Structure 1
Amino acid sequence: MEQNRLRNILMTLVLALSMTRAALGQSLITNSGFESGTSSWNFYSNSSAAFAADAAGNSSPRSGHVTINSQGSNVQLFQTEFLLEEDAQYTLTFAAYSNTGRDFSVSVQKHTSPYSMYGLADQTFNLGTSWQTFSVQFTASGFSGTTSDTRLRIWFAPFDVAGDQYFIDDVVLTKAGSNGSAPAIASQPANQSVAPGQSATFSVAANGAAPLSYQWQKNGSNINGATSSSYTTPPATASDNGLAFRCIVGNSAGAATSNNAILTVTATSDPQTPFRGVPFAIPGLIEAEDFDNGGEGIAYHDLEATNQGGAYRTSGVDILGTGDVNGGYKIGYVQAGEWLEYTVNVAQAGTYTITARVAAPGSGGTFHIEMNGADVTGPRVVPNTGSWDSFQDVVMSGIALNAGQQILRLSLNANGTTGWIGDLNFINITSGGGSSNTPPTITTQPSDQSVAPGETATFSVAASGSSPLSYQWQRNGGNISGATSSSYTTPAVSAGDNASTFRVIVSNPFGAVTSNTAVLTVSGGGGASVLANSGFESGTSPWSFYANSSATFDNNLAGPGSSRAARIVITTAGSNIQLFQTDFPLEANTQYTLTFQAYCNTGHDFSVSLHQHTSPYGSMGLMNQVFDLGTSWGTHSVQFTTSGFTGTTTDARFRFWFSSHSTSGDQYFIDDVVLTAGSSGGGTSAPIITSQPSNQTITVGRSATFNVAATGTAPLSYQWQRNGANIGGANSASYTTPPASTSDNGSSFRCVVSNSAGTTTSNTATLIVGGSSSSGMSFQQRTIDSNNPRNPHCKAVGDIDGDGFVDVLAASSSDFTEGIFWYKYPSWTKYNISGGSFSTDMQTGDVDGDGDLDVIIPKGSSLGNAVYWYENPRPS
């Protein structure tokens, strides 16, 4: 719907840019700018999502447009079968944004199974809500010679949610040069002349070693966001006449500055006057089609030169008939960047209500209203009214207006899901009006925080605007689940959290605003971790995974305070299942501290070892250390001194071992794995927990006491936490709760122990609060299992797994052979100890004196005469 002449100019610019890229290094990606529609691109989603090339690009008529209707686990846009050379360096650049600012990741990989990576693996890019240019360099690997079994993949899961819209343009993949030359301007920006209301585009071309960066300047000052090889101005006004534009092009070898190009804004001979001869009276109704006389750039700005509706007036504004109230005409085909002006006369200063009569068959776009250049309403959303001819009112109350004649401008901000903003029938302004429908404004930004390992950090924001205000905190650009209040407190941090960024999106029904970014500094943790990719934010490399059964490893789910964490899924149990990292440096006779966060969906444990990577796999100071995991995120820590070698070695393997503890169906989650070196051969030692707090069960009105024991250089300090938050005054090695109520049931307690050398956090202990201990209480029946075993003639109780809770054992009787089952409290997860038929007597006891309960039971009479002892496999 662009005028043919304008379309030809834009296509000429795109062709010129493409020729420039070819001269610098031909892109391996075809249809990079989506100007040929969706050709060469493929799209897949296992949910409801769509891909089109129907939206305006960064500096061209088209871009790739991905709409997420419902979230899926596999949503990708990709292009295949381009040629890569082994060990060659490549540069990928593109422009992108999303309507919510949510991210995506990019990979270059093998197109066919087994889909191995070719040097760029799940690189996450932090998108904004407006066009930005991104660039990354990588070295092709994972194959020999050359290959065209390739795929460039833009991956939207797991970042996207329903309602997200992604926009992508100028996807260029080039083989980088080897001369390392500084930029040289090959084509200078040219002077531009436009009429008021029109935009001007300045372009530059440069040679030099990739990647090249661009920064446009206006009158010598940087233009925010103008970081591509071309820059398009906003609609010009007379005051822009004579502005100078230039571009600074840089790379790692240097920078070059282009010549200045001058913008000339030509005068118009058509004055701006009211369409009906006199200004609209306020209070009063303004018909949308009765915008001022004066023409393009004076009384209105429209992206097409002709009236697409063909009704009422011969201007470039699109006008159609309508059957809505008052009949007459409406403004249609409304696009982002357009505007209309009306001369009005406000009878007296005061508070007014502005009502816009609008329609859209889907989620509409946004607009705002200005008076004499000042935004008086903030952005407002056109609702889904069901069709283009079903109108609704958007009411804006509490709008303060000055008295006298002035120019009202209707500014069209952003398109909706239909590709348009919405149709407009009229604007009605009435006197009075209650509270203002005001979008949020941040009054106090979050501030940077600095804490020690094991401590928590709190970020806060203050905002004003119409209620209700909602909040969504983000870490490193990804949403934090449940972080939806005006402040956010992190879990206990580790060294791997250092330099993480936090921000918050504040919204209400009238708009949204994103806070500044605050940085978390974690200090005092004993130095940098010797393990790479501790938080799994950079994919799964360099972690390795092995299983001699059916099990998988990925990083597709969020961590306790980040967008990624390791996940190990045990489909079938095996005797060798491990996640490990190798070939990192270790110093002999040196104290190291290991911290990590983890949990298991069933609460099953794992062990951790540090040993020689190659045979004979000798211990290096930490061997089969078992950690008691829960069913929610917990922080774990241990200190040890390296041994078993001399000097320095890189023949090391850090290993998580699942085999001795896992069963089929288990899922383990791990994050922030940090291994840091302390002092060599003694000195100050950080705390080590020697006795963990244990679960407590009490009745209503009673108190519970939790205890912890730790070693380390004195003095040790203690801080107890309830449900992750510090308890005021709870600063000793034990903590006694106030008298409990039923609302305390399920609360978790842990202790952070620290000294001058470091910090460690205990395991979590759970408080169970039962009914009142008074007489006459009412018992309630609870079902443990209604399926197996059949005909259960025998049962026993005892703390089988040593977690402080009493578990239940049951066995099937004669003629039924399901066997013995252990039910773990409180989830009553069922485990089969043995098959067979048993008698009506079963007992528990520590038969072998190793500190845990074993099971003693006779066989059923129909299966012979025997008594069995089942040894508890729980490590002592």
Structure 2
Amino acid sequence: MAVVPLAPTATLARKTGIKVEMESAKLLNGRGQLFSEPAPGPSFSSSLCQIFLLLALFVPVAAMTGCAGLVSGGSNPPSPLTPAITAQPANQTVTAGQAATFSVTATGTAPLTYQWQKNGANITGASSSSYTTPVTMTSESGSTFDVVVSNTAGTATSNAATLTVNAAAVAPSITTQPASQVVTVGQTATFAVVASGTTPLTYQWRKNGTAISGATSSSYTTAATTSSDNGAQFTVVVSNVAGSATSNAATLTVNAAAVAPSITTQPASQAVTVGQTATFAVVAGGATPLTYQWRKNGTAISGATSSSYTTAATTSSDNGAQFTVVVSNSAGSATSNAATLTVNAAAVAPSITTQPASQVVTVGQTATFAVVAGGTTPLTYQWRKNGTAISGATSSSYTTAATTSSDNGAQFTVVV
């Protein structure tokens, strides 16, 4: 833009709010600032410069070559705005080995500069509106991060954001496997597992390899079973953020509805001698498992819980005792008939109280020998002639056949 010399007076400026500073010819830049170089070009009359002043009413800043003066608007440039943080950095939670990112949003006159701090100390190179940590360690858990935002007008410091660093996740491992179950039709079965690993752990039970809807806890109870469930395999998959583990299979055995016990062979009565033992036995049918409880004279015998029972060594006081057994299962019980124990006195060896007497006969006659003996019955007898057992001579007396002269002097004895 060409300029003309200004007149030495500028009364118009006071009326319009335009400031005119008279100086020797200088150049102006576009912001109303003086250049130090001399204004080249011809000089113009002061009237032309006054016309330029009128134009300056509509132009914020103007200068013309040859006009020794400065023309500028009446208002100063706006002051810079100090930084203000509009979005604070947020707390972060990561697992050891991961990185964490913090960010801030701020306003204010540009340019804005940023300096991130960890636990109050500047972080080298952390000079943008966001900061990403190196891979974290558990020892850094609880550290605080803030940022100082600056410009020519001042600074603003953000709130502190906390970094939480959790230990690296451990995959699940099963410490107690689910156990196989045996039930009767209509009953339920419960399977359970114990697992370790980083929480939270999730569970999914499966039947024959297919996920069971809603079976997502550490134990699972079936619906009422049917015979078609017999042999089913149950497993559970335990999972967390680090992986999963599948349990061993547990088998479900479903037995037919229980049948109450029935006794098919009753215990038999026993006879023994004092000091001997006696054994009683029973045979029963019904749904297994069957349990047994033997009783003596109506009182349960401790430890007598099998299908047979053998007494201790008997005494005469056991004579006439009554033995029964109660057979039980889940459907009911059955009591046997009573078996009687007879205990006899201890046996007494035979003793001969009347010896056989010698006999005198005539040839052709018979001779009879007899003995009387005591002792525990039954007693048995065996007669002998000259030391040789006589066939059939097994009673307390013996009568010979018709004698001959050769029988003279024969010796007869008996073993009782």
Answer whether TM exceeds 0.5 for this pair: no
Structure having the higher Rg? 2
TM-score by length of 2: 0.25
Greater relative CO, 1 or 2 (CA 8 Å, sep 6+): 2
TM-score by length of 1: 0.12
Structure (1 or 2) with the greater strand fraction: 1
